[in-house]
Amino acid sequence: MKNIRNFCIIAHIDHGKSTLADRLLEFTSTVAEREMQNQLLDNMDLERERGITIKSHAIQMNYHYKGEDYVLNLIDTPGHVDFSYEVSRSIAACEGALLIVDSSQGIEAQTISNLYLAIGNDLEIIPVLNKIDLPHAMPEEVSDQIIELIGCDREDIIHASGKAGIGIEDILAAICERIPAPKGDPTAPLQALIFDSVFNSYRGIEVYFRIFNGTLKKGDKVKFINTGKTYEADEIGVLKLNQEPRQEMSTGNVGYLISGIKNAKEVKVGDTITHVDRPAQGIQGFEDVKPMVFAGIYPVETSEYEELRASMEKLQLNDASLVWEPETSAALGFGFRCGFLGMLHMEIVQERLEREFDMTVITTVPSVQFHAYTTKDKMVKVNAPSEMPDPNYIDHIEEPFIKAQIISKAEFVGPIITLCMDKRGILKNQTYLTSDRVEMTFEMPLAEIVFDFFDKLKTISRGYASLDYELIGFRQSNMVKLDIMLNGEKVDALSAIVHRDKAYDWGKRLCEKLRELLPRQMFEIAIQAAIGQKIIARETVKAMRKNVLAKCYGGDISRKRKLLEKQKKGKKRMRQVGNVEIPQEAFLAVLKLD
Ligand code: GTP
């Protein structure tokens, strides 16, 4: 146990965490050079393409340092705010953290939020100034920021470049010397924290754990404390590049467990594994992850509903944070109301449905969850605008609020405050981290930031702003349901719940945007926005002048067929509502109201 080091890497997105992890694996010969692929830990295709780490993973390295053999367990963490709960669990499984800061960017919001999590878990922090190979690196300035933030000495900061392979040996030395060995009692009742799980279609769910107390043997009867379910530990082992089975694993170690679990819902990150016949207490801090954004998912072809259901079921086996239930829309027919951790998660789900299951789907207007009170204390949870009770029977509505932490350069403070106020934010605090770096804290409605807020923030700060947020509760707000009608017919899937003060402006801009996005048809389309019975905006899509097929009258039949084929392809991600065709972009038009 004395030579085990459990550590994670915390960094803001794109500061080079995965690249650095690759170098550590290379340097410790955990992977042979020919097996080395860039960003080895990001082994989902989608992750590699997008260059982001979606799920955290763990890997064990062996390192010989000053005459001793060390076991280094690296727990990789995702950088995006949608997945911050997973970060918090991986941090809880470690004794130390490498704090990576891009020397050309400086400290960002997730650097700080993850750092606070790490400090909250008493981790030893090793600051690493990364990407020092870049010509525009600012090592002095960024070192000042780090010193001010964590109060370390200048000499404690390791200068490194994952790309150029600089400073890797120093980092490994610091891991061995500065990070404490795990504590705990191998003879005590078993207490192992689940910090991640991975779906494997052949072997079932692989559970990743860290043992805090006790010893786990292959074949043991184990219980997951929060779900109450029991299993047999069919296989346990450590995570190298491949899994290496072991007969026994003890306190301080990190590994995997396979016990034939088929459904991701049974494995909750943060849960505790213990023995059935000698149970321990659960490890503190367990939380059920809650969806933040809700949207409908509908098949483009109504006949594919059952197939979509089967695909969603399979996807959910492997993504425990995805929740859904059947939903019916007057406009779109049968589909599903889904809950996501955030917009990125929603995009990923849509993309995975298309890639892995070959489904073409439409996602409807995203919404947060509102609480509608029909009396002072009778509350209805509203995950979709169509679920909103009749306004005549509503006492009041509450909406989710967040605490948002934004870090940027001093010169952008003005525009950022203006943007946040426009999004109904309240400035709570403003601190200068250095003379040029400002941290601002706002309280804001979640509904205002889940959509395009982050893009706007990036634009007005020319990329120099970062955001982190957490839910702080529900507050009363004056919300109304805004309906959209096409040729007089209400399209429920286009409705949105918006703040009353903004409803007129929204309605107007939404109609304008829809006019741009709806393809012309043979007839005129009237687009109207309404609150209750009252029409507040109107636009018209003019009829198309000519039928495309008219050109080929009497012409060659194969040419005609080609044209029809082309039209069919163009129809992907379109839904027929009444006699109007609505493309996917139109459902997401609310995200792009400018
Ligand atoms: P997430 O996993 O999405 O949080 O990103 P990350 O922090 O793992 O960053 P990643 O390793 O994917 O690197 C982000 C980008 O920075 C990539 O384009 C890398 O090639 C580049 N990069 C990483 N390390 C270095 C470095 O030391 N020097 C230079 N010049 N570029 C680097």
Split into its structural domains, the chain has a count of 5
Q: Give every CB contact of residue 132 below 8 A, 6+ residues apart in sequence.
A: 103, 139, 159, 160, 161, 166, 167
- SS3 of 233, please? coil
Residue 61: pLDDT above 60?
A: yes
pLDDT in tens, 298-329: 998 888 999 999 999 888 877 778 889 999 88
Q: Give every CB contact of residue 149 below 8 A, 6+ residues apart in sequence.
A: 107, 112, 115, 433
Q: 44 vs 337, which has greater pLDDT?
A: 337
| H or E element in which residue 106 lies | none
**Domain check: are 358 and 440 in the same one?**
no
**Domain check: are 20 and 105 in the same one?**
yes
| DSSP states along 468-536 | EEEEEEEEEE-EEEEEEEETTEE-GGG-EEEEHHHHHHHHHHHHHHHHHHSPP-SS-EEEEEEETTEEE
Q: Is residue 285 part of a domain?
A: no
Quick check: CB of 11 below 6 Å from ligand 1?
Answer: yes
**Domain check: are 470 and 570 in the same one?**
no
- SS3 of 422, please? helix
pLDDT of residue 567: 53
Q: Is residue 282 part of a domain?
A: no
What is the span of the domain harbouring residue 437?
371-477
Token pair belonging to 124 = 């030893």
Strands 361-363 and 68-75: unpaired
Q: Is residue 488 part of a domain?
A: no
What average pLDDT does the structure give for the chain? 86
Residue 44: pLDDT above 80?
A: no
568: left (phi over 0), alpha (psi -120 to 50) or beta: alpha
Quick check: CB of 103 below 6 Å from ligand 1?
Answer: no
Over pLDDT 90: what percentage of the chain?
47
Q: Which of 55, 89, 95 is nearest to 71 (CA)?
A: 95
- Which residue blocks in 42-195 are alpha helix, DSSP H? 45-50, 84-92, 109-120, 139-150, 168-178
Rounded CA-CA distance 259/206 in Å is 8
Quick check: CB of 167 below 6 Å from ligand 1?
Answer: no
* 495 labelled ligand-binding: no
Q: Is residue 232 part of a domain?
A: yes
Candidate from 13, 18, 166 with most ligand 1 atoms within 8 A of CB, to mutate: 18
**Domain check: are 220 and 324 in the same one?**
no
**Domain check: are 73 and 170 in the same one?**
yes
Crossing angle for the helix pair 305-318 and 343-357, nearest 10 degrees? 120
* 19 labelled ligand-binding: yes
Q: Is residue 492 part of a domain?
A: no
pLDDT of residue 53: 41
Residue 569: pLDDT above 50?
A: no
Query: Which residue, of 208, 242, 275, is where some domain finishes?
Result: 275
**Domain check: are 118 and 36 in the same one?**
yes
Quick check: CB of 272 below 6 Å from ligand 1?
Answer: no
Rounded CA-CA distance 268/205 in Å is 11
Strands 235-239 and 293-299: unpaired
**Domain check: are 154 and 39 in the same one?**
yes
**Domain check: are 39 and 170 in the same one?**
yes
Q: Which of 460, 459, 458, 422 is nearest to 442 (CA)?
A: 422
Rounded to the nearest whole angstrom, what is the distance from the C-alpha of residue 39 to the centroid of ligand 1?
9
Q: Reduced to 3 DSSP states, what percent helix, strand and coil does the chain have, rounded to the nearest 5?
A: 30, 35, 35
Quick check: CB of 105 below 6 Å from ligand 1?
Answer: no
**Domain check: are 259 and 318 in the same one?**
no
Q: Which of 72, 65, 70 is nearest to 8 (CA)?
A: 72
ipTM: 0.96
**Domain check: are 550 and 568 in the same one?**
yes
The CATH code of the domain that includes 74 is 3.40.50.300
**Domain check: are 242 and 334 in the same one?**
no
**Residue 594: other Cβ atoms inside 10 A:** 8
**Domain check: are 124 and 225 in the same one?**
no
